[in-house]
Chain A
Amino acid sequence: MNEQTPIAERAEKLQGLGCARKRVEDARFTQGKGNYVDDIKLNGMLFGDFVRSPYGHARIKGIDKEAALAVPGVLAVITAEDLIPLNLHYMPTLAGDVQAVLAHEKVLFQSQEVAFVVATDRYAAADGVELVEVDYEELPVVVDAAKAMAADAPLLREDIKDKDEGAHGPRKHHNHIFYWDAGDLEGTQRALSQAEVVAEESIAYQRVHPCPLETCGCVASMDKVNGKLTVWGTFQAPHAVRTVASLISNIPEHNIRIVSPDIGGGFGNKVGVYPGYICAIVASIVTGQPVKWIEDRIENLSSTAFARDYHMTGKIAATKEGKITGLQCHVLADHGAFDACADPTKFPAGFFHICTGSYDIPVAYVGVDGVYTNKAPGGVAYRCSFRVTEASYFIERMIDVLARKLEMDPAELRMKNFIAREQFPYTSALGWEYDSGNYHTAMAKAMETVGYQALRTEQAANREAFVRGETRSLMGIGVAFFTEIVGAGPVKNCDILGLGMFDSCEIRVHPTGSAIARLGTISQGQGHATTFAQILASEIGLPADRITVEEGDTDTAPYGLGTYGSRSTPVAGAATAMAGRKIRAKAQMIAAYLLEVHDDDLEWEVDRFQVKGNPERFKAMSEIAFAAYNQAIPGIEPGLEAVSYYDPPNMTYPFGAYICVVDVDVDTGVTDIRRFYALDDCGTRINPMVIEGQVHGGLTEALAIAMGQEIRYDEIGNVQGASLMDFFLPTAVETPTWETDHTVTPSPHHPIGAKGVGESPNVGGVPAFSNAVVDAFAHLGLTHTQMPHDHWRVWSVAQDLGLHG
């Protein structure tokens, strides 16, 4: 078979690692044939909709369902009272707290779920919602994390008021959730007190929201005849949902099937378990009919899964020459009304302690106080790995603040403090073991490509022209160098609700040389069906086009912890490679039998095993597959299947250098991103086209966060801007053209050296934009200004600096 075909040609045909393979998902999406949760239609399906709190904090004195129940089509109105007998009025959160499914006795944030109206269609359900009468008594509201910790602050969580021990240790105040710290406090204080230079800054990372284009939703269907519950929904972690659903409902896990159909973007929004899922399940059990719940956009932005809301205070110590000697950080973390963060159990502040960044900092200390406020729960990793975005924003701003103080170029200061290539594997002061990196090279390449020195010269000329009154525009150059930490994670220290964060892949090779691979992850646009087939094509020598990748159905997929925190490639991608290697090992034995040689006499080449030194004698994988099913081979079981559960030995540490050039109109506050260059190093590159697409998308989300997104609350707890009318999502007009670039530093511990990329651009992008805006005014004394840098805020900066005459 194809004896003559040269190796390169055969390899190309596989469309394996490194190939810019076109996506297999696209055929259905471009024809409107995707299958998203709201597309699901079942016989007799009902529709559920929420009555939500108009208040940020109020006591519920009574709920009158009567008028709602009189609406034609309305079948039921479920309240906390109905859930109490089932013990479902509260549900466990991923962070070890509980969250009200339907408000019991009081509401703690605006838009909180109060009652669930079930009706024959969505219009009737909405009519019912309008007519449920809830009698509230308003209570004092706290929307500021610092004020929540005041001695006389109102008590928010009456349900846990007597608990002075939370899931993560002692609580020091009635609105306190946890204190978590890492590093060497004494050593850091010593470094700070002995330092030649100390820079300090308070850096807030505002509350934002992942806002995928598709909101959250589900269809729950309880089949009372065979006792099986099926739930289709927007789940980034279907197996975890199944286990949690089983634990709280007492339905045995084999009788629950969770399916994630096509998902219209997740970005962290779809990791958690929301009251809507529980209510739809309960309603289906009660009515015996399938029940659909789909949140609308305003509900999405105001109730499910905010991100960030981190208030960070930092001190960084250095010598006069700019060698960093210590770093301290305290965070006031606003978690909203319930602690529903999606972090590995042992890390209530996620991986925030990656905040020493890409720098060789000898000593550091970080402490995080988690606090309750009258705001929506969440704290999800919005296109980032568990608080890494906050950490990266913090350190990359601090470096710039220090550079200003030292009167040193921020790029030069970074170069001076990078962890050197030969220091890897490098153990950071806060305890992480960085797997590999080549920071100096990446930074130098970035500076060279953008012409960094020329940009600085141009900036100096711009500033002089500004002084002469020839322009009203100031030029800013933002530099950011980030190190991500992704791929959670080693089971020894990463679990969610006790479930180890491994992932899995199961492969079946069919007799005619094609295959199906099933994984524990779930794509939300990342193109897993395309890229995981490529990994496998390279491992087992079958063309990617002949490998189906399936995810998201807990009845068929092996157990896995899902897709978020850029963990799919580092963990499930590794599981795929390892399962492929098991297939290959068995194939080798079969080939040896067929060729009548010893196993060791064979070598693998692209798509075949060949006899060493005699490449004309070979068996291609497709022939081996056929033999596996139709020949009785002594000592070898028939079939060609494998499964691998991969527990990564370490996280992976992607990194990158981003440079942004912005022109700021000081009279209008309008910012024009003139140029954005992003160099990413995500180790081995599986599909460059998909990587580039991920970078474009991540940078656009970073642009949104840095320049305009904010979920704000007024003093009395009204959420502001929770619709697309106000919440900033850039259009094609505001979005610049991105310049992408890369270096390749493989991960030494990952089977194919890949590190993951989906979230890097958000982690590195936000500080790059922010640094650019601050840099535009730096010569006038500005060291920091809070995000988002919308036109009004930027205008205010110019106003405060006296630029408006």
Chain B
Amino acid sequence: MSKKAISMTVNGRPVEAPAEPRTLLIHYLREQLDLTGPHIGCDTGHCGACTVDLDGQSVKSCMVFAIQAEGAEVTTIEGLAQPDGRLHALQEAFREHHGLQCGYCTPGMITRAYRLLQENPDPSEQEIRYGISGNLCRCTGYQNIVRAIQAAAQNLNSVPEAAE
């Protein structure tokens, strides 16, 4: 199948790479741009391992064609830390509260939580549980993930400028 150059902004950087019309965004990110943070855990849009941020919304990038993201702003796990390398509060909190084990769900989970906290900066436990219910984790039982997100929210709320 013929390829066409597709361009978008990924993690603040303009990019352009060839892809077929049927190429999924997840494959475009992982294979064309070598951004292997987002993972693939299923083929039905259920696991959320591939979650990225697309124009300010959490999106399962296995459910979107790369060409649909033409011109869009995409953020992946690789784009969450500050340019100087300082980690995002969520990245710190996941480590601090043991919110990951094998790490396979982690990039999608953190990227989803990142958007959740912008939608709702002070979520209750129940709101967090619903808010991440599109992301499956097989290792942690979610309890420490919830704690990590709560801790990050608290941290971000106490230092407002750290929110972005």
**Contact check: which of A215, A524, A689 meets B102 at CB < 8 Å?**
A524
CA distance A212 to B136 in the complex (A): 10
B47 & A724 in contact (Cβ 8 Å cutoff): yes
Would A31 and B129 be within 8 Å (CB), given that A297-B41, A696-B141, A738-B143 are in contact?
no
Beyond known contacts A39-B30, A298-B43, A700-B140: 9 more, CB 8 A cutoff: A23-B98, A30-B87, A32-B36, A297-B43, A297-B44, A696-B140, A697-B101, A732-B135, A735-B143
Q: List 25 A-B contacts (CB under 8 A).
A: A28-B103, A29-B106, A30-B95, A30-B106, A31-B77, A31-B80, A32-B107, A38-B36, A123-B22, A212-B104, A213-B105, A213-B136, A214-B39, A215-B41, A264-B104, A267-B138, A298-B43, A692-B98, A693-B140, A697-B141, A724-B46, A731-B142, A732-B135, A733-B130, A733-B133
**Contact check: which of B36, B43, B77 meets A39 at CB < 8 Å?**
B36
A527 & B101 in contact (Cβ 8 Å cutoff): yes
Would A693 and B144 be within 8 Å (CB), given that A213-B49, A297-B41 are in contact?
yes
B39 & A264 in contact (Cβ 8 Å cutoff): yes
Contact with A along B1-20 (1 / 0, CB 8 A): 10000000000000000001
Contact with A along B48-63 (1 / 0, CB 8 A): 0100000000000000
Residues of chain B contacted by A525 (CB below 8 angstroms) = 101-104, 139
Nearest CB of B to A429, in Å: 35
**Contact check: which of A123, A265, A699, A737 meets B138 at CB < 8 Å?**
A265
Q: Which residue of A lies closest to B96 (CB)?
A: A22
Would A30 and B91 be within 8 Å (CB), given that A214-B39, A262-B103, A725-B44 are in contact?
yes
Q: Is the interface of B mostly helix, strand, loop or mixed?
A: loop
Q: Which residue of A lies closest to B79 (CB)?
A: A32
Binding site for A on B (CB under 8 A): 1, 20, 22-23, 27, 30-31, 34-44, 46-47, 49, 76-78, 80-81, 87, 91, 94-96, 98, 100-107, 110, 128-130, 132-146
Residues of chain B contacted by A215 (CB below 8 angstroms) = 41
Contact with B along A249-265 (1 / 0, CB 8 A): 00000000000001111
> A34 within 8 Å of B by Cβ?
yes
Nearest CB of B to A294, in Å: 8
Contact with B along A18-43 (1 / 0, CB 8 A): 00001101111111111010110100
A234-287 at interface with B (beta carbon < 8 Å):
262-265, 267
CA distance A296 to B96 in the complex (A): 32
Q: Which residue of B lies closest to A40 (CB)?
A: B36
**Contact check: which of A263, A265, A297 meets B42 at CB < 8 Å?**
A297
B104 & A732 in contact (Cβ 8 Å cutoff): no
A25 & B34 in contact (Cβ 8 Å cutoff): no
Sorted nearest first, the 3 A-B pairs with minimum C-beta distance are: A32-B37, A29-B103, A525-B102
Q: Which residue of A lies closest to B91 (CB)?
A: A30
A730-746 at interface with B (beta carbon < 8 Å):
731-733, 735, 737-738
Binding site for B on A (CB under 8 A): 22-23, 25-34, 36, 38-39, 41, 121-123, 211-215, 262-265, 267, 296-298, 524-527, 689-690, 692-694, 696-701, 723-725, 729, 731-733, 735, 737-738
Nearest CB of A to B10, in Å: 12
B38 & A32 in contact (Cβ 8 Å cutoff): yes
Q: Which residue of B lies closest to A20 (CB)?
A: B98
Residues of chain A contacted by B36 (CB below 8 angstroms) = 32, 36, 38-39
Would A693 and B41 be within 8 Å (CB), given that A25-B103, A123-B20, A700-B141 are in contact?
no
B103 & A26 in contact (Cβ 8 Å cutoff): yes
Nearest CB of B to A76, in Å: 20
Residues of chain A contacted by B132 (CB below 8 angstroms) = 731-732
Residues of chain B contacted by A700 (CB below 8 angstroms) = 140-142
A36 & B37 in contact (Cβ 8 Å cutoff): no
Max count, chain B CB within 10 A of own CB: residue among A121, A122, A732:
A732
Would A213 and B37 be within 8 Å (CB), given that A265-B138, A693-B140 are in contact?
no
A699 & B94 in contact (Cβ 8 Å cutoff): no
A697 & B133 in contact (Cβ 8 Å cutoff): no
Would A526 and B44 be within 8 Å (CB), given that A41-B34, A732-B146 are in contact?
no
CA distance A212 to B101 in the complex (A): 12
Q: Which residue of A lies closest to B131 (CB)?
A: A732
Max count, chain A CB within 10 A of own CB: residue among B23, B46, B47:
B46
Residues of chain A contacted by B46 (CB below 8 angstroms) = 723-725, 729
Would A701 and B95 be within 8 Å (CB), given that A34-B103, A214-B41, A525-B102 are in contact?
no
B91 & A264 in contact (Cβ 8 Å cutoff): no
Residues of chain B contacted by A735 (CB below 8 angstroms) = 129, 141-143
Residues of chain A contacted by B138 (CB below 8 angstroms) = 211-213, 265, 267, 697, 701, 729
Would A723 and B42 be within 8 Å (CB), given that A30-B106, A264-B103, A732-B133 are in contact?
yes
Nearest CB of A to B112, in Å: 11
**Contact check: which of A33, A212, A696 meets B143 at CB < 8 Å?**
A696
Nearest CB of B to A121, in Å: 8
Residues of chain B contacted by A26 (CB below 8 angstroms) = 94-95, 100, 103
CA distance A267 to B138 in the complex (A): 9
B47 & A213 in contact (Cβ 8 Å cutoff): yes
B129 & A32 in contact (Cβ 8 Å cutoff): no
